[in-house]
Structure 1
Amino acid sequence: MSYYGQQYGGNPKYISDYFIKNDRFQRFDLVWGVSKTTEFILPPRIKKVRLFSFKTLRMLATSKVIITNYRLPDYFIKREGQHYIQTWHSSLRLKKVEKDAEAALPASYVKMAKRDSKHTDLILSGSRFSTETIRRAFWYKGDILESGMPRNDMLLQQNELKKKEIKLQIGASNEAKLLLYAPTFRKTFKAEDYKLDYSMIQHIMEQKTGDKWTILVRLHPHLIQHSKDILSGKDVIDATAYPDIQELLAVADICITDYSSLMFDYMITKKPCFLFVPDLETYKKDDRGLYFTPEELPFPIFKKAEDLLGLLQEFDQNQYRKKVQQFTDSVGSYDDGTAARQVYEHIDNICFRAKRSEWNEAI
């Protein structure tokens, strides 16, 4: 299950995809929980159940392994012998979470999180920093798999055929370079906090690289109503409805975001990432607090849209890569492109190690 059944995405998707590709003898039945109000396409191998239905309750009660990236509510009662894996979302994040931000969280969520952690058998970690955060702030004393994030595997795997397919699906030329702009949602909307001069960005990048550039804009769902204020211009593609942000990151040659944790996913590619933070001082005062301020990160930041143009012209790729490497070393990144395989091997061991032991004794 992923994001409350709203999509086939996140770490659970990439674990499922690995099972589909590598479980050749179909020893595992794959079942996906889907929200009652959402429709999306699942791979043929995966069965669908509607959340809160009798079938879902039955699957939760009888499944050997349960994988999710969100806290399960009270109706989940773990039975003896079940193995519950919490993948969480990303390897790093700006805003503090769980116990580190307990004072700013609803009491009902804290109660649910504590209960969920008590039932959890394994949490995935994408970095040494995250492992320390899980130990300190997740009300959790169980096992941690320091595998990296399965959703980041594809960012480290050079699958050119897949990238061509993604470009075709979003309507971009295979020859074009892509700049992805993916702003997050603020509680108070101000158009100036989001608007960029796409035509000038394209002009500068085409002069600098000699390539044709297309802009992809991926809006938060809560920003769709303001899309006319943010989207405009030639060779600008609205990628908001594209189902998987990781695939957009995989094909992007440059990424611009603000406070989204996707910056940390994209960071492992060592391709340029810029942060547009016009409301930085306000954001720093967030009641949850921050693990890092944007100034501590390796990404160039700008507070005025016009300042991006100078950053693009003066960008030094070698210097940027050094800063990214220093930061990834400091947080102890585990992403190496093998996370889904490690989870698969863990589950295979959980489900079949007893039988293997019997086979060994028989031999």
Structure 2
Amino acid sequence: MQQLMEAPAEIRVKTRKFSLTKGTIKICFELEGSRGRIRSLKLKQRNAVLDTSFPFEMQTAKKGNTIVYHAQINVEQYPMETAFWDVVASVDKEGKGNYEDAILGGLSSKLKLKLILFPRWTRTGDGHMVYPFVNGARQFTIQYRKYDPKYDSYAFIAKEFLALFCYFILKPYWDHKKLWLICEKYCTMAQDNGLYFFRYCMEHAPEKDRSRIFYVIDKKCPDYQAVKEYDANVIQFMSFKYMIYLSAAQYLISTDAIRHFYIWDSPNSIYKVLYQARKNIVFLQHGVMGFKQCHRTFHKGGGNQMALFVVSSGYEQKIIHDYFGYDNEEIIITGLSRWDVLEDKSDPAHKEILLMPTWRSWLEDISEDQFQKSEYYQRYKAFLQDERLKTLLEKENITLNFYIHPKFREHIRSFQVEDRHIRLIPFGTMPLNQLLMSCHMLITDYSSVSWDVYYQEKPVIFYPFDLETYEKVQGSYMDYKKDVFGDLAWDQNQLVDLIGEYARNGFREKPEFSGRRDELLPYRDNDNSKRIYEYIANAQIPDKLKRRLKEKKF
């Protein structure tokens, strides 16, 4: 099992200065002596597995009972990885020489506003950029990633201000349109619940509503073809028109968080803060909340607050109510839009198994070399090269389709295997819905696509080989050892044995798993999009900014 590191606690300080100029980060802050003493500062990569950090140079000066700290670091001197980096202090809180790590917090409201109104970044010599990442926690965090000349420029900031000017000067006109904007992940996809909900609206909503509903996508992406027939209602992502429409939109409707409606991981800007603070979002989800804890990301009290939260059942509604903090009136039980077109298209003459593991948060944004050393890679590589598996696939004439999660799509080339019965399918080359409908069985670890296969009354094998690590870092709302609706394989041999068992019985689902379907998936009538549309059309959702100001959440 991989060794995991607990996230450090936080220590709040009084900020004097936080700047980033020509690759050098400078921080000046104060801490009362009674609250502890800081021995050192480091810039630490945010990762549960990797322990990578680089030291600040630091000087101190005493001011009565307070110590003033001056620290700086030049990031160009170090081999930075694409990631978020926190400023972490080594703190002795009791004065006994017991130093512990703590994330530095206390970015002042004044400085936070300054970083938003006047965003700043620095470019490195290797084509990357570094900038302060301002979030609700007010912690000292920076982001390091590749420089994008299209969006990472002062010319683009000018475009943001111009879009805001054009919106606010004609605000009554734009707001009167009551626009609905629909998107999927990064505004680059059209193959999930957003696509099927949009199609329903284009084909069944009244004309007065159709004229105000738009799908947002980068038209250079392959998935644009899925919505091209409705081109009059498709808007180019990050076009000037889109930036005005985003400012004016009544509702944002998405399978993902509100950040997906804008440039991913863009530096802070007044435009970005305004749209995120003002817009109500309807969360279509891209899978049932069951096997992956997300309440820290989508909690009602956080930055990703949803106005309406789509769920599949009363069982899931209770999860969202208990863990996410939403009222039942904000959680709409409708079923998922993509299930309206979901049907079993498996061909008895061409037997297919879909192998689709999900991602791991502790493996995001790591190098190829580090990825290949992970248990995740080693386990799936060993399985794909298993000689018993290859013999079984050959004997039963089964094709195994390996479809990696989009967050790991760049690593698919690492799983090369020479076998005519095993296909490695790069992300985006084949619609996921097609793979789910054509398969006879699914093998996964914790992916929510298991619910789509269960919906079709097909068998699912769960392979949670790193369950102890997963539960510690990610967590599940369901008890894996009791509540899953499929067989559990804890090692490679057991997994191959189960595949053989299902291959010999014609891939029939076992009665002990099918018996819970009415409870877990009550809506199987192809009217999910209709229910969602009617909820949104009849919703009376309060203004988000006024509501959050009243609740003192913003």
| TM-score, normalising length: structure 1 | 0.74
Q: What does the per-residue CA deviation read over 1:131-156, in whole Å, with 9 as the maximum and x for residues that have no partner?
A: 1122233343343321111122222x
Distance 1:69 1:106 in 2: 12
The alpha-carbon deviation at position 71 of structure 1 amounts to 2.5
**Partner amino acid for 2:485?**
P
Distance 2:530 2:524 in 1: 12
The alpha-carbon deviation at position 234 of structure 1 amounts to 0.6
Q: Secondary structure of 1:294's partner?
A: coil
Alignment of 1:23-34 (within 5 A): 23=205, 27-29=209-211, 30-34=213-217
1:72 aligns with 2:258: yes
Aligned partner of 2:450 in structure 1 is 263
Aligned partner of 2:177 in structure 1 is none
Distance 2:420 2:378 in 1: 20
1:274 aligns with 2:468: no
1:21 aligns with 2:203: yes
Tell me which of 352, 362, 383 is aligned to 1:178.
352
Distance 2:276 2:409 in 1: 36
Tell me which of 268, 287, 304 is aligned to 2:491.
304
Q: What does the per-residue CA deviation read over 1:289-318, in whole Å, with 9 as the maximum and x for residues that have no partner?
A: 321233221211223323223213334679
1:344 aligns with 2:527: no
CA gap of 1:10–1:89, structure 2 versus 1, over 3 A, is same
Aligned partner of 1:219 in structure 2 is 404
Q: What does the per-residue CA deviation read over 1:308-343, in whole Å, with 9 as the maximum and x for residues that have no partner?
A: 232133346798442223333454643443211222
CA gap of 1:334–1:78, structure 2 versus 1, over 3 A, is farther
**Partner amino acid for 1:138?**
F
Distance 2:460 2:242 in 1: 40
Distance 1:304 1:245 in 2: 26
Alignment of 1:129-144 (within 5 A): 129-141=315-327, 142-144=329-331
Distance 1:37 1:318 in 2: 40
The alpha-carbon deviation at position 207 of structure 1 amounts to 4.8
CA RMSD of aligned residues (A): 3.6
Do the aligned residues in 2 keep the contact of 1:15 with 1:340 (CA within 8 Å)?
yes
Aligned partner of 1:204 in structure 2 is 392
Tell me which of 141, 148, 157 is aligned to 2:335.
148
Q: Which of the pair has the greater relative contact order for Cα pairs under 8 Å at 6+ separation? A: 1
The alpha-carbon deviation at position 223 of structure 1 amounts to 4.8
Bigger fraction of residues in helix: 1
CA gap of 1:18–1:106, structure 2 versus 1, over 3 A, is closer
Structure 2: gaps of 5 or more residues:
1-182, 260-272, 364-370, 541-554
The alpha-carbon deviation at position 112 of structure 1 amounts to 0.8
The alpha-carbon deviation at position 245 of structure 1 amounts to 1.6
Aligned partner of 2:223 in structure 1 is 40
Give the % identical residues: 19
1:322 aligns with 2:519: no
CA gap of 1:64–1:243, structure 2 versus 1, over 3 A, is farther
**Partner amino acid for 1:40?**
D
Distance 1:277 1:92 in 2: 17
Do the aligned residues in 1 keep the contact of 2:197 with 2:529 (CA within 8 Å)?
yes
**Partner amino acid for 2:493?**
E
**Partner amino acid for 2:330?**
D
Distance 1:111 1:349 in 2: 25
Q: Secondary structure of 2:530's partner?
A: helix
CA gap of 1:17–1:91, structure 2 versus 1, over 3 A, is same
Do the aligned residues in 1 keep the contact of 2:401 with 2:422 (CA within 8 Å)?
yes
The alpha-carbon deviation at position 350 of structure 1 amounts to 6.2
Distance 1:249 1:21 in 2: 24
The alpha-carbon deviation at position 175 of structure 1 amounts to 4.1
1:96 aligns with 2:282: no
The alpha-carbon deviation at position 15 of structure 1 amounts to 0.4
Structure 1: gaps of 5 or more residues:
165-173, 352-363
Distance 2:456 2:521 in 1: 15
1:85 aligns with 2:282: yes
**Partner amino acid for 2:274?**
Y
Q: What does the per-residue CA deviation read over 1:223-254, in whole Å, with 9 as the maximum and x for residues that have no partner?
A: 53353435431133332233532221011111
Do the aligned residues in 2 keep the contact of 1:94 with 1:291 (CA within 8 Å)?
yes
**Partner amino acid for 2:195?**
K
Aligned partner of 1:168 in structure 2 is none
Distance 2:357 2:417 in 1: 12
Do the aligned residues in 2 keep the contact of 1:128 with 1:334 (CA within 8 Å)?
no
1:111 aligns with 2:278: no
Aligned partner of 2:18 in structure 1 is none
Q: Secondary structure of 2:515's partner?
A: helix
1:4 aligns with 2:201: no
Moved more, 39-48 or 4-13: 39-48
Distance 2:513 2:194 in 1: 27
Distance 2:195 2:411 in 1: 28
Do the aligned residues in 2 keep the contact of 1:4 with 1:35 (CA within 8 Å)?
no
Do the aligned residues in 1 keep the contact of 2:443 with 2:462 (CA within 8 Å)?
yes
Larger Rg: 2
Moved more, 294-303 or 260-269: 294-303
**Partner amino acid for 1:69?**
T
